[in-house]
Structure 1
Amino acid sequence: MDLTRRGLLAAGTVASLATACSGGRGGAAASPVPGGFVLGSVDGVTRVAQLTGPGAINDTASVLLAGADLGHMTTVGERTWFVFGDNFGIRDADAFGGTGEVWKSNCLAWTTDDDPTDGITFDGWVLDDLEQVKEVLPGDHKPNDQVGEVTKIPTQLFAVDETMYLAYMSVTHWGEPGVWETDHAGLARSTDDGQTWEILEAVTWPGESGFVQLAQVPLTVDGVDWIYLWGIPAGRFGEVSLMRVRAQPAAVEELSSYEYFAGEVDGEATWSTDLNDAVVVLDRGTAELSVLWSSHLERWLLASMLDNGSAVLYEGLSPWGPWSEPHEILTQADTPGLYAPYLCPRYVADDGRRLFFTLSIWGPYQVYWYSMDLRRTGGD
């Protein structure tokens, strides 16, 4: 199978443990913080380790995983879950991009490793009866002809109490670099520590909506626990919108419980239960994304790509912005085929000045571990 999809992408060839790895409740500001932007630059970007495939610090061959991408992270208790997308169990040594045999749309690894400085060692995987990585949300694997589902790509994972939720997009066609089409986006639920999953048929968003790919942060507002979810359409050129849902299983599993950011009135955020009222909070060509609250900067950070090109970092004054101009992390010239920079608040160092992140690279079709340093304007 050769996936000419989100990758041919080279068209443009904190510190505390939180409930989930795209943010955190402790100290995060739910309203605009005073003052302006304080991030001066991103520098010191370093490849720390390879996480998947031949030559990685993890033996992924033993679970029949020879190539994978994505690797967004969520911490539940002491475990941090790594969620991978399309993966292949058998690949030629010189294989390029998403190609190979024993194709699975997704899989999950977990770790208790809390030292990001030398890479992340996986403690285990969700496995099938053959002791191979399990496709937890089976994709239909239809031809890439816009007729049926090609694959189910996981876009985010979060937890409420002991229940885990996995967001996915149902891809029906991989088009030009950074362009694809989806039938819908949805949620699946696990109540047995990720071993089995049930798709929630009543919780879906249209494939042309702005909530096909997600980033999430658990956030407490006026004593109420919420899951904030930033969304983009299918592909890598969409604008960012924002929704939220109460951090209760009954709410997460009821589509009418979701509230969409509908703008500000007299400086106050307004929310609507009507998807059509959702407004854009970041009007940049955005790809796979992650969001966290930086305790070092006391600002929000959003990592993604810009127009299917460079990996970038935005600074935000509130969950809905305003957002800064993009700070360049890596370019396609630096690292051809890069995509999907995912942050995790568990994995920071130097009092939040250094962030660690996963990064997919299309050429070898593997996931790598990187670090970057945040420099304040006029200081460190």
Structure 2
Amino acid sequence: MRKASTPGVFGLVVACALHPAPAAAAPAPWAPPPVNACGETGFDPRARLPEPGSPPPPLLPPHIDIQIPVPQLVPVPIPGPAPDNERIDPGPLPTDPCRNPCPEPGSDPDNQATTTDPELGSDETPLPSYGPDAPADPGPPPDPLHGLLTSLSGGGSNGNSVLNIPSISFSPDIEPIPIPVPGGVAPPPQPAPEPVVHPAEPGPAVAPLPAPQLDSVHLVNQVTGPGSINRTDVRWQVNATDLGIMWQTKPGEIATVFGDTFGKGWQVNTVGGPDEDWRSNVLGYSTQTDLSKGLTIERMVQDSKCHAAELLDSRKLKNFETTVIPTSGFALGNRQYLSYMSINKWSRIPGMWWTNRGGLAYSDDDGQTWVKSQHAVWDNMFGLDRFQVAAMVPHGAYVYMFGTPNGRVGNIGLARVPTAEVLNKTAYQYWVNGTWAPTAENSASPILPGIAGELSVRYDESSGHWQMVYLDPAAHSIVLRIADEPQGNWSDEVPLVDTNDYPKSYGGFIHPWSTGNDIYFTISAWDTYNVYFMRATFAGDP
């Protein structure tokens, strides 16, 4: 495993040497937290100066928890349980947008929104403990070793407040060792598609376009979580989530899929686990055409009243399958598709993770239930497969697949497949040195220099150009490139979001109704762990 990750880490080091980190932007002026129309307090993803007169933040955290790896054998039933496909028709939301559709028992059913304090627990909560930017993954509750480790630390005292010395405690970091055991009934096998080998076809790259000139970028609205315009916490128990990947399901409707999602029990500055109503992914829909008013979510796929359903199931066990994350979505006729990655485990190195595989799932009932294809799968052999984090885009006779290895320090490869054969892996051709070739995916040539994380790609009808947005970790920015052909050549990068201005931001998923000079996109912020809608305008036609 160490050897498998070395080239990516080396590439990141080289990239950072060639592209030094930009000077930190000056924090924006202090401003009170935003409040939505219902009086609920939201989150500000900008880096801002402290409130005038507030005490300076402590130099050290009040408490340091040192985790000790502890191996633990965990039986894993094979096959696993069947997906929970229970769904309900929840009906329309209340006419009054500030009326809670599912008030707490004993509360006034007509009560309006209750304000959520974004600083709740912020002084005492631990660092993020889950996900690609976390120092460690969540594990099962502490076992009896916890008491021994705590006693060795002096019982977790409060430390020396005069000298501002943090208290120190030790806790076990459970490292599961999965042991397969007989499980339930295996799902029925899906018919294997007939092998297809499309002959190699040249497709030379065209000259690069000039980079578009950016006029402005600004935050439009908070999409999810407490204080958002969509009030996803009270409507669907989506208190915290990320990504916000969008595609058009049919004329006039946009689907938005989110990643790991948490409900009641979630607190700011933490990304937790099962005790916080953890779902690996959830899906919402919007028909708002005036994007300047923000990204609205009008309904979500639900398994019970006021509760968004998990679409693609996961085993939720570190070192086996921690979670299943969508990476792109698209529609072909009445069938919806999701590309996804099955996460084996998150890394202690920020921006790195290990996948089991990338794959495709489809839905024939407007996104209510999904089936993972048993054949459109890209296994991550030795952790080096080129198409683990994919962005798939239908255009013309083909679906194009842009992909990177697991993590955020890999190059971008490209493949294509006829639209009628999207679930037939043997029909894919990969871009290799100027040719669309029926070859192994790891032979695909990088279409861009440098590294990238979480791609979003679309073809813009208004300009006739391809648009690509992704996180460039070396440049500390979410960036845009454009091209005349999917294989490039691509323009130089245009920085859209500086991660010094929007700390710990990632993503950059383009809204399908963007245009050539007016691009809307979502970003996620790690500490507040929610999704925000951004707008970038350009001079002329990019």
TM-score between both structures, scaled by the size of structure 2: 0.60
Q: 1:114 to 1:149 in 2, by over 3 A?
A: same
Partner letter of residue 264 of structure 2?
I
Structure 2 residue 373 is the aligned partner of structure 1 residue 200: yes
**Which moves more between the two structures, 32-41 or 71-80?**
32-41
Structure 2 residue 491 is the aligned partner of structure 1 residue 327: no
Match of 2:443 in 1: 277
Distance 1:188 1:313 in 2: 28
- The structural deviation recorded for 1:363 is 1.4
CA-based RMSD of the aligned residues comes to: 2.3
Match of 2:259 in 1: 85
Counting only pairs closer than 5 Å after superposition, residues 100-139 of structure 1 correspond to structure 2 as 101-139=276-314
Q: 1:236 to 1:97 in 2, by over 3 A?
A: farther
Whether the aligned pair in 2 keeps the contact of 1:293 and 1:300 (CA below 8 Å) is: yes
What are the superposed Cα offsets for residues 187-208 of structure 1, whole Å, 9 maximum, x if unpaired?
1121111111111111110223
Match of 1:312 in 2: 479
**Which moves more between the two structures, 306-315 or 46-55?**
306-315
Gaps of at least 5 residues in structure 1 are 10-29
Distance 1:206 1:92 in 2: 33
**Which moves more between the two structures, 287-296 or 255-264?**
287-296
Match of 1:362 in 2: 526
- The structural deviation recorded for 1:91 is 3.9
SS of equivalent residue, structure 2 residue 394 = strand
Match of 2:466 in 1: 300
Distance 2:461 2:205 in 1: 12
Whether the aligned pair in 2 keeps the contact of 1:285 and 1:307 (CA below 8 Å) is: yes
Partner letter of residue 387 of structure 2?
F
Match of 1:4 in 2: 130
What are the superposed Cα offsets for residues 307-345 of structure 1, whole Å, 9 maximum, x if unpaired?
263111112232111122221111111110110001123
Structure 2 residue 351 is the aligned partner of structure 1 residue 178: yes
- The structural deviation recorded for 1:241 is 0.5
Distance 1:331 1:91 in 2: 31
Whether the aligned pair in 2 keeps the contact of 1:261 and 1:272 (CA below 8 Å) is: no
Whether the aligned pair in 2 keeps the contact of 1:210 and 1:231 (CA below 8 Å) is: yes
Match of 2:237 in 1: 64
Whether the aligned pair in 2 keeps the contact of 1:263 and 1:271 (CA below 8 Å) is: no
Whether the aligned pair in 1 keeps the contact of 2:206 and 2:489 (CA below 8 Å) is: no
Structure 2 residue 389 is the aligned partner of structure 1 residue 213: yes
Runs of 4+ off more than 3 Å? 1-4, 30-36, 294-298
Q: 1:168 to 1:3 in 2, by over 3 A?
A: farther
Match of 2:317 in 1: 142
Whether the aligned pair in 1 keeps the contact of 2:400 and 2:414 (CA below 8 Å) is: yes
- The structural deviation recorded for 1:89 is 0.6
- The structural deviation recorded for 1:295 is 4.7
Partner letter of residue 168 of structure 1?
Y
Distance 1:66 1:132 in 2: 11
Partner letter of residue 350 of structure 2?
P
What are the superposed Cα offsets for residues 53-85 of structure 1, whole Å, 9 maximum, x if unpaired?
011010212211100000110101132100100
Among 497, 514, 518, the alignment partner of 1:347 is: 514
- The structural deviation recorded for 1:92 is 4.5
SS of equivalent residue, structure 2 residue 426 = helix
Partner letter of residue 102 of structure 1?
D
**Which moves more between the two structures, 327-336 or 66-75?**
327-336
Distance 1:345 1:31 in 2: 26
Distance 2:317 2:259 in 1: 16
Partner letter of residue 284 of structure 1?
G
Q: Which has the higher contact order (CA 8 A, sep 6+)?
A: 1
Larger strand share, 1 or 2: 1
Distance 2:478 2:456 in 1: 12
Distance 1:211 1:347 in 2: 26
Counting only pairs closer than 5 Å after superposition, residues 13-92 of structure 1 correspond to structure 2 as 36-61=208-233, 62-77=235-250, 78-92=252-266
Distance 1:76 1:32 in 2: 32
- The structural deviation recorded for 1:298 is 3.9
Distance 1:297 1:8 in 2: 39
Whether the aligned pair in 2 keeps the contact of 1:5 and 1:179 (CA below 8 Å) is: no
Match of 2:193 in 1: none
Whether the aligned pair in 2 keeps the contact of 1:44 and 1:372 (CA below 8 Å) is: yes
Distance 1:46 1:341 in 2: 13
What are the superposed Cα offsets for residues 85-115 of structure 1, whole Å, 9 maximum, x if unpaired?
001012455x214236001100100111111
SS of equivalent residue, structure 1 residue 288 = strand
Match of 1:19 in 2: none
Q: 1:202 to 1:34 in 2, by over 3 A?
A: closer
Whether the aligned pair in 1 keeps the contact of 2:395 and 2:459 (CA below 8 Å) is: no
- The structural deviation recorded for 1:35 is 5.8
Match of 2:325 in 1: 153
- The structural deviation recorded for 1:183 is 0.8
Distance 2:208 2:490 in 1: 10
Partner letter of residue 324 of structure 2?
K
Whether the aligned pair in 2 keeps the contact of 1:187 and 1:199 (CA below 8 Å) is: yes
Match of 1:372 in 2: 536
